[in-house]
Amino acid sequence: MRPTTLKIGDDVVHQSHPGRFTVVKIQQRPAMNIYSNIITIRSADGVELTVLDTSVRRVDKQAKEPTADRG
């Protein structure tokens, strides 16, 4: 079982796509895959992906995205 359960509105990062996404839909796990729920996530730019919840990590809404150090 996952340590934290995702909820609609949670901010997440996906292992294969850069940037933050917001969880917009959660489908219960199908019988053939008992380990993962299927979630739909959307970026601020409108990119929408349907992925397994095990491929994302929840992030704190107050955490800032890293910026390139130009120093």
Measured CA to CA in angstroms, residue 22 lies from 1, 40, 44, 53, 60 at distances of 22, 8, 8, 12, 12
Structure confidence at residue 23 (pLDDT): 97
Q: Which two tokens stand for residue 59?
A: 């992030």
Domain extents in the chain: 11-58
Question: Is the pTM for the entire model greater than 0.85?
Answer: no
Residue-level pLDDT, tens digit, the chain, 71 residues: 445 689 999 999 999 999 999 999 999 877 765 678 899 999 999 999 999 999 999 998 776 666 656 55
Structure confidence at residue 21 (pLDDT): 97
Structure confidence at residue 1 (pLDDT): 44
